Amino acid sequence: MTLFPTRAVLALTAAVLTTPFAAADDAVQTPLVLGPVEQWQADPTVILEAVDVTLDDFRWLARPVVVFADTPNDPRFQTQIELLAARMEDLAERDVVVLTDTDPEAFSSLREQLRPRGFMLVVLGKDGGVKLRKPVPWDVRELSRSIDKMPLREQEIRDRRALNQ
């Protein structure tokens, strides 16, 4: 079981509780299961587990930030999640989706493609390419600066400024 800060747990709980229902018939209501993209679109501050996610899921939609560890009890993992959860709004402004993978035995698609060793923070661009790998936790300010230097992000900033003028 993965341990997340209270804020992330509340966001995930809210997403589940507000999930729309599809009527199978008049007597039974079946909850719709949202995929990872739909969960992120419904709440861009949610932290998702990487088990059912592929890099193609978020291509050209979001910048995945993937946090790997061999266990959710890794102090570096816990520190990283706390740092990210404290400023999720700043990441959401940059179209960042936070994904976690703390189970090497699950052989997730992301773990196979990115090949982490122990704790690792990976920042990917909207094109799905690896932009940054860090073996230690980074705060959101450092991540934001790195993301803001990416050519596509610079274009997004220019486009936003042009719309506001």
pLDDT tens digit sequence for 2-48: 444 444 444 444 444 444 444 445 555 656 788 999 999 999 999 99
pLDDT at position 164 is: 87
- Asked whether the CA dihedral 72, 76, 78, 84 is positive or negative, the reply is negative
Percent helix, percent strand, percent coil in the chain, to nearest 5: 45, 20, 35
Q: What percent of the chain has pLDDT over 90?
A: 71
pLDDT at position 27 is: 56
CATH T-level assignment (fold) for domain 6-21+30-164: Glutaredoxin (3.40.30)
Where do the structural domains in the chain lie, given as residue ranges?
6-21+30-164
